Amino acid sequence: MFASTLRPTALGLVLALSAVAQDKPADKAVDLKVGDPAPVFEVTDDQGKGWRASDHYGKKYVVLYFYPGDFTPGCTAQANAFKDAMNKLTEQGVEVVGVSGDSVPTHERFKKAQKLNFTLLSDPDGAVARQFGVPVTKGATVKAKDPDGKPFEFERPSTLARWTFVIGKDGKVAYKNTKVTPAADAKAIQEFMAKELEKKK
């Protein structure tokens, strides 16, 4: 009799736990669209200093380009394209910021190696990327070479997908590209900005 009275109670507990699990909302991927307010965040830049989005939104158009990681061929091509286009982008009122899961020291080393003239932000756990809906995968041990050919190795905490956004002066998403061609990204932004500025005339 004791066993028979215990079974319904145990069954009820299982059903109750199952119901709680089903009621618990799953983490939904963010689907940020053009016209939506841009997420506000604070992270560390390539100099180890705090970088607050709220200090930059509203002053210029802010290009936030998320990329997989430093010292990879595609990401190097993308960074150098932005470097080469910086004079034109500055004339268009644009600030460029690169974001990856690499650490601050790795960013500092990459920026120095490529002589980059814009800021890199460290998003090691992918928290900022997820706010923008950018897919985040696990990191890796990366083998790379300095410009002088000296090999070195570093840990990448997380890997971000290659997505690019432009945040307008109103603090809203003005442009979103989830299928970025690394070497052509800067040109695509220049073309978008030319149309954007023409509309403002």
Residue 13: which H helix or E strand, with range?
helix 2-23
Band the pLDDT of 28: cuts 50, 70, 90.
low
Phi and psi angles of residue 52, each rounded to the nearest 5 degrees, phi first? -105, 125
- 109-137 burial by CB neighbour count: b if 16+ within 10 A, else e? bbbebbebebbbbbbbebebbbbbbbebe
The pLDDT of residue 30 = 81
> What whole-number distance in Å separates Cα of residue 66 and Cα of residue 133?
11
The domains located in the chain, with CATH, are 30-200 (3.40.30.10)
**pTM (2 decimals)?**
0.84
Q: Give the pair of three-digit tokens for residue 156.
A: 């990448």
The active-site residue, picked from 64, 75, 116, 173, is: 75
In the chain, pLDDT over 90 holds for what percent of residues? 77
Question: Residue 4: is its pLDDT beyond 80?
Answer: no
Determine whether 75 is an active site residue: yes
More confident residue, 91 or 198: 91
The pLDDT of residue 87 = 96
- Which pLDDT tens digit goes with each residue over 132-150? 999 999 988 999 887 778 8
Q: Is the separation of the CB atoms in 66 and 78 below 8 Å?
A: no
What's the mean pLDDT in 157-166? 97
Q: Give the pair of three-digit tokens for residue 19.
A: 């119901």
